[in-house]
């Protein structure tokens, strides 16, 4: 059985995504970073995504698109996956435009995943084992930091810890508390689209 997240959970994800946007915008404004006029488009960066709940929410948005648009996107998704597999087999990191990007814009902007919402500004997070991870931000952001921030300690940072914690809680809720039993998700957006909404019905049978 394929699962789309229900109305209530969708509302909670939407709120969390809004919180991520606010946190991102705050740091971007402090640094003076905007994507306006950037020569790069991050939507061709290769990322894997790890939650059923985001996968399901993405599908909620996808299922609202007209059938012709869905067909075009799925066609691009297949092409995307083939190209990525070829590049990965050669031991290189793929750089292929996301199938949801049309003329530089995200077709499912409201439904885009956490990674799409957090890439760009400097970020940090504390893992459950206490280890602190730091992310320097995109190349444009790193240029700004180099030019304007003499003291590294003063560089504004988006802390992802609390946001990720909330996402894990939503994942637990989506999987009815059986997150530890479900197979691990490690997928591109293209693969999520091609696979249909997540199916987690058999996770309770797993040891
Ligand atoms: S996040 Fe950075 S690299 Fe990506 S489009 Fe925005 S400014 Fe450019
Ligand atoms: S989902 Fe949207 S924002 Fe994310 S990579 Fe694809 S086109 Fe870009």
Query: Measuring from each residue's beta carbon to the nearest atom of ligand 2, which residues come in under 6 Å?
Result: 43, 98, 100-101, 106, 112, 116, 189
The ligand whose atoms approach the alpha carbon of 114 most closely is: 2
CB atoms within 10 A of CB 100: 25
d(CA 187, CA 7): 24
Cα 7 to ligand 1 centre (Å): 32
Residue nearest to atom 4 of ligand 1 (CA): 42
**Predicted confidence (pLDDT) per residue in 47-100, tens digit:** 999 999 999 999 999 999 999 999 999 999 999 999 999 999 999 999 999 999
User: Mapping DSSP to helix (H, G, I), strand (E, B) and coil, where does residue 82 land?
Assistant: helix
pLDDT at residue 176, as a whole number: 86
- Which residue among 54, 94, 112 is best mutated to probe the pocket of ligand 2, counting the most ligand atoms within 8 A of its Cβ? 112
Cα 96 to ligand 1 centre (Å): 16
**Predicted confidence (pLDDT) per residue in 132-186, tens digit:** 999 999 999 999 999 998 888 889 999 999 999 999 999 999 998 888 888 899 9
CB atoms within 10 A of CB 163: 21
Whether the CB-CB separation of 93 and 46 falls below 8 Å is answered with yes
**Predicted confidence (pLDDT) per residue in 114-134, tens digit:** 999 999 999 999 998 999 999
pLDDT at residue 200, as a whole number: 64
Cα 112 to ligand 2 centre (Å): 6
**Ligand 1, closest atom to CA 41?**
5
**Ligand 1, closest atom to CA 121?**
1
pTM of the model: 0.91
d(CA 162, CA 181): 23
CB atoms within 10 A of CB 175: 20
Cα 42 to ligand 2 centre (Å): 8
The ligand whose atoms approach the alpha carbon of 105 most closely is: 2
């Amino acid at each position: 059985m394929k699962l789309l997240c229900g109305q209530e959970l969708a509302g909670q994800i939407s709120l969390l995504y809004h919180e991520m946007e606010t946190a991102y915008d705050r740091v971007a404004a402090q640094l003076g970073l905007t994507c306006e006029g950037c020569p790069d488009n991050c939507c061709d960066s290769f990322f894997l995504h790890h939650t059923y709940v985001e996968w399901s929410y993405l599908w909620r948005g996808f299922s609202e698109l007209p059938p012709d648009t869905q067909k075009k996107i799925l066609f691009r998704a297949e092409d995307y996956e083939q190209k990525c597999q070829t590049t990965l087999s050669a031991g290189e990191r793929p750089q292929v435009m996301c199938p949801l990007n049309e003329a530089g814009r995200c077709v499912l902007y409201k439904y885009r995943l956490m990674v799409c919402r957090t890439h760009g500004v400097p970020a940090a997070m504390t893992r459950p084992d206490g280890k602190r991870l730091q992310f320097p931000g995109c190349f444009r952001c790193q240029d700004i930091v180099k030019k304007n921030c003499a003291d590294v300690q003063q560089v504004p940072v988006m802390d992802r810890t609390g946001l990720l914690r909330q996402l894990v809680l939503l994942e637990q809720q989506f999987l009815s508390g059986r997150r530890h039993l479900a197979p691990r998700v490690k997928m591109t957006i293209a693969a999520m689209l091609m696979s249909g909404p997540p199916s987690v019905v058999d996770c309770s049978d797993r040891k």
